[in-house]
Structure 1
Amino acid sequence: MQKNINYIKQKLSGLYPDREVESFVVWILGHVLGYDKTRILLNNDKILPKDVSSRISSIVDRLTKYEPIQYITGDTEFVGLNLNVKPGVLVPRPETEELVSRISNKVAANSAKILDIGTGSGCIALGLKKYMPGTKVFGCDISQVAIELANENAKLNNLDVHFFYYDILSQNGTLPAKKFDMIVSNPPYVLESEKVQMEANVLKYEPHGALFVPDDDPLIFYQKISDFAQLHLANNGEIWLEINENKGAEVKGLLENNFFHDVVVLKDIFGKQRFVYGKFRE
């Protein structure tokens, strides 16, 4: 196996940071062999069959083209959940894991109705249902591919979450409830002008519609979510949003101008303004 490990490191060295290459070694061997990190270390001297080495080479070749490893293996981990992922649906991010943790640590697991807008793989909705089992959780998206994937992930993790079609920009679709106690969203928020700062694997493979917004209308999704909330969020209902780190004050001001109070901008573990929280007052 050491020969295979050396091969992975040699092929990916210089294309990715050393720490990421090390994580790829564990991810790839874990995927093809079903080994965890400890078992990989204990079986370092094992000679792998040719077909297994060939699978490793195929994965590495795709990584050299900057394809996200989550799309290659077809899965990822998110707040302890095993999630299927596929092209056309955004790969869940660590920042979004933090959003789920913040909500579940702050909110009591009661019978609240929660709506995740732009659910994608269903990661937020499923994470909240896992840690707040008493809640009724819903997730909506404009993408049928995303809705199908989110339903797959609900079955995979044995979680009861209802996913449905809804276009937040046009406010078009059939809602499963008239009012929700909480709205959560990680909408597109990366400016078109910020594309130059993005990694090649993101630009080449991930869905741009789930990432980017026009420079001349950067808060378009937050405004539409706020409009939606005024009709469908219960009095004193909560809103939790993931945001562009440079737009905290603007998103906060938008909510305050649209009947939200106690609005705060929260920093992520890297010290960046990443989340906005508020309560709605009719």
Structure 2
Amino acid sequence: MRRIADFEVEFINELANLYDRQEAEELYSLLVENKLQIKRAAYKLRQDEFLTEEQEQVFKQALAALKTGKPIQYILNEAHFYGLTFEVNPYVLIPRAETEELVHYILQQHTSPQALKLIDIGTGSGCIPITLKKHLPAAQVSSLDISKEALLTAQKNATNNDVAIHFINADILEWEYLFSDQQFDIIVSNPPYITPKEKDDMHLNVLNFEPHLALFVEEVAPLLFYETIASFALAHLREQGDLYFEINRYYGAQTKDMLQKKGFQEVRLIQDMYGADRIIHARKVFRNI
């Protein structure tokens, strides 16, 4: 048997070609917390404890998977998002910090405990609607995705986080046949927005392991989902309703222009923590002529 601290040395050395020391230490910390239930604050006090043979085998399997480039979240089957824990698997994207910024921005805009009606389109793991429902408990929240497998994951996450969400398995590109007279106060989406030419700039662990259905859009129509959801919003947002998008940083100006041409007002382009165009907020306002 080996001490937890001894295996950490091997872990960091074995991953040296893929991760720098700080990143490898972070990965090991996540592994220890998930498999041994040892919080980071307690690690220094417990690092001299010994791994059982079964635990060491689990750690070796995780290390082998990481060496292939597999994301730690898929190895642990969980990811943390805005203070909540979500199950993740190859059918759903790993929640990103940029999406946390989108959720945070929405919550800043809606601080009163009113009974809002909102829908998230392209829900994946459910991190956006579940987190919004958690912080806006009076809201009536719907969640749509074309992937049945993704929706099953989102349903588990809703149950695990003790929130009620209405899930819809459908293709938003056929929205005209999905909804009748439903009206929403908020429509939010983080749709597929990466174009094929951007693949060369992406990490292999994303390309090789995360679902392409949720990542990529055709080069000839990079704003396909934004244009479709904007049209849906024109038909199904209430007066003064809010539309929120996470966007491709290379298409911020084009997306803003498209929304303005469709008639949305107060269209705001917002940068993320890295200074890249990442969020768009638009409002449906009827103008009196």
| Paired position in structure 2 for 1:40 | 43
1:104 to 100, 103, 107: 107
**What percent identity do the matched residue pairs reach?**
37
1:8 Cα deviation after fit: 1.1
| CA spacing shift, 1:93–1:122, aligned 2, 3 Å | same
Give the ranges of 4+ consecutive aligned residues of structure 1 lying more than 3 Å apart after TM superposition: 172-177
| CA spacing shift, 1:221–1:47, aligned 2, 3 Å | same
- 1:64 equivalent in alignment to 2:67: yes
How far apart in 2 are the matches of 1:176 and 1:270?
40
How far apart in 1 are the matches of 2:227 and 2:14?
45
1:72 Cα deviation after fit: 0.9
| CA spacing shift, 1:172–1:42, aligned 2, 3 Å | farther
RMSD of aligned Cα (Å): 1.3
* Paired residues of 1:84 and 1:153 also in contact (CA < 8 A): yes
How far apart in 2 are the matches of 1:242 and 1:183?
12
1:18 Cα deviation after fit: 2.7
How far apart in 1 are the matches of 2:180 and 2:272?
32
In the TM superposition, what whole-angstrom CA distance separates every residue of 1:9-34 from its partner, at most 9, and x where no partner exists?
01111212332211101011111101
1:221 to 221, 225, 237: 225
How far apart in 2 are the matches of 1:55 and 1:176?
51
- 1:178 equivalent in alignment to 2:182: yes
What letter matches 1:181 in structure 2?
D
2:13 to 10, 13, 33: 10
- 1:150 equivalent in alignment to 2:147: no
Unaligned runs of 5+ in 1: none
How far apart in 1 are the matches of 2:180 and 2:132?
18
In the TM superposition, what whole-angstrom CA distance separates every residue of 1:157-179 from its partner, at most 9, and x where no partner exists?
10111111121112266449711
What letter matches 2:132 in structure 1?
L
SS for the counterpart of 2:92 is: coil
- 1:267 equivalent in alignment to 2:279: no
| Paired position in structure 2 for 1:28 | 31
What letter matches 2:251 in structure 1?
K
| CA spacing shift, 1:118–1:176, aligned 2, 3 Å | farther
SS for the counterpart of 2:19 is: coil
SS for the counterpart of 2:280 is: strand
How far apart in 1 are the matches of 2:78 and 2:261?
40
What letter matches 1:9 in structure 2?
I
What letter matches 2:43 in structure 1?
I
| CA spacing shift, 1:173–1:94, aligned 2, 3 Å | farther
TM-score with structure 1 length normalisation? 0.97
- 1:92 equivalent in alignment to 2:78: no
* Paired residues of 1:141 and 1:164 also in contact (CA < 8 A): yes
| Paired position in structure 1 for 2:84 | 81
* Paired residues of 1:165 and 1:174 also in contact (CA < 8 A): no
Q: How many residues align?
A: 282
How far apart in 2 are the matches of 1:176 and 1:133?
25
* Paired residues of 1:248 and 1:273 also in contact (CA < 8 A): yes
1:138 Cα deviation after fit: 1.0
How far apart in 2 are the matches of 1:116 and 1:75?
21
1:134 to 138, 146, 167: 138
How far apart in 2 are the matches of 1:273 and 1:126?
24
